[in-house]
């Protein structure tokens, strides 16, 4: 394959912005964001709109059994697997216009540009819309890419239900995406994903392109601290088994572990939800449940963080006379991206004269699953104030255009230009 992008190509930044804003009208919220939950009628409208754009750009569109959408652009050598890009268009309940959507629209803009210029690649190209990346309505998260990559069975996904008892299987049917091809009908040779950073680093460093070298490993647990509820007045302090008192120390320890210089700069520790029982003003809490999220770039360091967390739990249980139960929920191992793919992103940023830095992603993305089955890399661009999963999520159109141009060049390097 040719690995050159000598032809002076550039995507249409105004068209990219226009398509993002057009998609954002579907499920628009009063605060300027989006609520387009996976497999709702609004998601169906978004899928129909973008699939139509894909066909207009000359792509052959295939939907698989979990509702993933693949648009394939022919290459000169159809024996080669496609060089792919993509992301998702489902959102959080109070989501923004760019999370996921930028990656899909940037990929669409790559296809439109090549079609307009009449450029044929050696390998085919593909644009993918993954089903239920957010995991807001249905779990597991990153559902479509997870099924495609064999992380969990198709039936697990189809049988998942939302809070109203509606299943993925039924909701695919409701929006007309239930008659898909078998999983794996479209096999991808490599994968790039463009995305807003969803964090503050690029903006703080005044940098346009994040060259994503991999993702942090993640481990989740549910913790239950059990003491004894009792009347807040008659029970002396020394005789209490206050579950909340003990739990707060453990919650702080989670954050302290991540702040330890031994785990810097990639340590992360979060307590995201807390439930107190009986949650009464004048009753000593007898049970507290909370979630723990630990992350690090290195598996060995993540092991040490987990060990510190468990040691703290054992110490606090003995000290305060409570029981602490730790239930494992989910794990994503640290995932390095393919060096040659990361290099293509970096080289394109240099070629285009764009400021760039190497960065790891602390969030889950479909690219994390794709990296298990194909060479993968990601391209980050800044988002305003590092804010995402929020209706005020915003990005500079110039940065989005720059990211899409890096994607264009990187995909051409990987696919080769026929000639």
Last residue within a domain, chosen from 311, 329, 347: 329
Mean pLDDT of 40-48: 98
Per DSSP bridges, beta strands 283-284 and 230-231 are antiparallel
Residue 258 domain flag = yes
Q: What is the pLDDT of residues 85-143, one digit of tens each?
A: 999 999 999 999 999 999 999 999 999 999 999 999 999 999 999 999 999 999 999 99
Residue 5 in this model has a pLDDT that exceeds 80: no
Q: What are phi and psi of 35, to 5 degrees?
A: -130, 95
SS3 for 121? strand
Residue 3 domain flag = no
Residue 280: give its domain's CATH number: 3.30.70.360
Residue 242 shares a structural domain with residue 210: no
Average of per-residue pLDDT values in the chain: 96
Q: Crossing angle, helix 101-117 and helix 41-56, to 10 degrees?
A: 20
Q: What is the pLDDT of residues 342-388, one digit of tens each?
A: 999 999 999 999 999 999 998 889 999 999 999 999 999 999 999 99
pLDDT score for 362: 87
Q: What is the pLDDT of residues 302-326, one digit of tens each?
A: 999 999 999 999 999 999 999 999 9
Residue 282 shares a structural domain with residue 340: no
Beta bridge partners of 295: 218, 268
Residue 169 shares a structural domain with residue 195: yes
pLDDT score for 7: 53
Residue-wise DSSP of 163-223: TTS-BHHHHHHHTT--SPBPTTSS--SEEEEEEE-SSSHHHHTT-SEEEEEEE-EEEEEEE
Residue 306 has which token pair? 């987990």
Residue 8 in this model has a pLDDT that exceeds 90: no
Residue 183 in this model has a pLDDT that exceeds 50: yes
Residue 53 shares a structural domain with residue 162: yes
Residue 189 domain flag = yes
Residue 91 shares a structural domain with residue 154: yes
Residue 8 domain flag = no
Residue 290 domain flag = yes
Integer angstrom CA distances of residue 364 from 95, 198, 345: 16, 11, 20
Q: What is the pLDDT of residues 376-399, one digit of tens each?
A: 999 999 999 999 999 999 999 999
Residue 305 has which token pair? 């963080």
Mean pLDDT of 73-93: 97
pLDDT score for 2: 36
Residue with tokens 């993640």: 218
Q: Which residues of 365-380 are buried (b: 16+ CB within 10 A; e: fewer)?
A: bbbbbbbeebbbbbbb
Provide the percentage of residues in the chain whose pLDDT is more than 70.
Answer: 98
Residue 23 has which token pair? 């998609």
pLDDT band at 1 (very low <50, low <70, confident <90, very high): very low
Q: Could you list the residue range(s) of the whole structural domain that residue 176 is in?
A: 13-215+334-415
Q: What is the pLDDT of residues 248-275, one digit of tens each?
A: 999 999 999 999 999 999 999 999 999 9
Last residue within a domain, chosen from 295, 329, 363: 329
Mean pLDDT of 327-350: 95
Residue 205 shares a structural domain with residue 345: yes
Residue 211 shares a structural domain with residue 234: no
Residue 230 shares a structural domain with residue 192: no
Residue 196 shares a structural domain with residue 151: yes
Residue 375 domain flag = yes
Whose CA is closest to 329, among 216, 224, 213?
A: 224
Last residue within a domain, chosen from 329, 352, 387: 329
Residue 289 shares a structural domain with residue 166: no
Residue 266 shares a structural domain with residue 118: no
Q: What are phi and psi of 286, to 5 degrees?
A: -100, -20
pLDDT score for 3: 37
pLDDT score for 419: 75
Give me the long-range contacts of 255-260 (CB less than 8 A, separation at least 24): 257/294, 257/305, 257/308, 257/309, 257/312, 258/294, 258/295, 258/305, 260/308
Number of domains, the chain: 2
Provide the percentage of residues in the chain whose pLDDT is more than 90.
Answer: 96
Residue 140 shares a structural domain with residue 29: yes
SS3 for 62? strand
Residue 133: give its domain's CATH number: 3.40.630.10
pLDDT score for 364: 84
Residue 402 in this model has a pLDDT that exceeds 70: yes
Residue 6 domain flag = no
Residue 251 domain flag = yes
pLDDT band at 9 (very low <50, low <70, confident <90, very high): very high
């Amino acid at each position: 394959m040719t690995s050159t992008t000598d032809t002076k190509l550039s995507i249409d930044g105004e068209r990219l912005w226009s398509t993002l804003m057009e998609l954002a009208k579907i499920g628009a919220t009063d605060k300027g964001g989006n609520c387009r939950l996976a497999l709702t009628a609004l998601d169906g409208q978004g899928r129909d709109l973008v699939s139509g754009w894909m066909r207009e750009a000359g792509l052959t569109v295939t939907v698989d059994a979990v509702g993933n959408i693949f648009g394939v652009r022919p290459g000169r050598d159809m024996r080669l697997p496609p060089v792919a890009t993509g992301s998702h268009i489902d959102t959080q309940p109070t989501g923004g216009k760019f999370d996921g959507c930028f990656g899909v629209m940037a990929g669409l803009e790559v296809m439109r540009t090549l079609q307009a210029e009449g450029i044929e690649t050696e390998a085919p190209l593909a644009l993918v819309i993954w089903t239920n990346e957010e995991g807001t309505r249905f779990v597991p998260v990153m559902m479509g890419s997870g099924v495609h990559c064999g992380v969990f069975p198709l039936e697990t996904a189809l049988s998942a239900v939302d809070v109203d008892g509606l299943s993925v299987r039924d909701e695919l049917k409701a929006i007309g995406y239930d008659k898909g091809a078998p999983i794996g009908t479209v096999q991808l040779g490599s994968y790039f994903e463009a995305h807003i950073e969803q964090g503050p680093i690029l903006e703080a460093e005044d940098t346009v392109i994040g060259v994503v070298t991999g993702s942090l490993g993640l481990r989740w647990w549910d913790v239950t601290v059990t003491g004894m509820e009792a009347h807040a007045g008659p029970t002396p302090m020394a005789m209490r088994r206050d579950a909340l008192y003990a739990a707060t120390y453990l919650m702080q320890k989670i954050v302290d572990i991540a702040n330890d210089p031994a785990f810097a700069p990639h340590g992360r520790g979060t307590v995201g939800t807390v439930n107190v029982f009986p949650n009464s003003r004048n009753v000593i809490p007898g049970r507290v449940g909370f979630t723990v999220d630990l992350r690090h770039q290195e598996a060995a360091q993540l092991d040490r963080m987990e060990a510190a967390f468990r040691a703290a739990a054992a110490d606090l249980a003995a000290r305060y006379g409570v029981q602490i139960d730790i239930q494992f929920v989910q794990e994503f191992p640290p995932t390095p991206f393919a060096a040659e793919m990361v290099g293509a992103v970096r080289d394109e940023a240099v070629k285009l004269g764009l400021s760039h830095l190497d960065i790891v992603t602390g969030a889950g993305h479909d690219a994390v699953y794709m990296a298990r089955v194909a060479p993968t890399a990601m391209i980050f661009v800044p988002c305003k104030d590092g804010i995402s999963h929020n209706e005020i999520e915003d990005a500079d159109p110039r940065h989005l255009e720059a990211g899409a141009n890096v994607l264009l060049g990187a995909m051409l390097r990987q696919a080769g230009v026929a000639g």
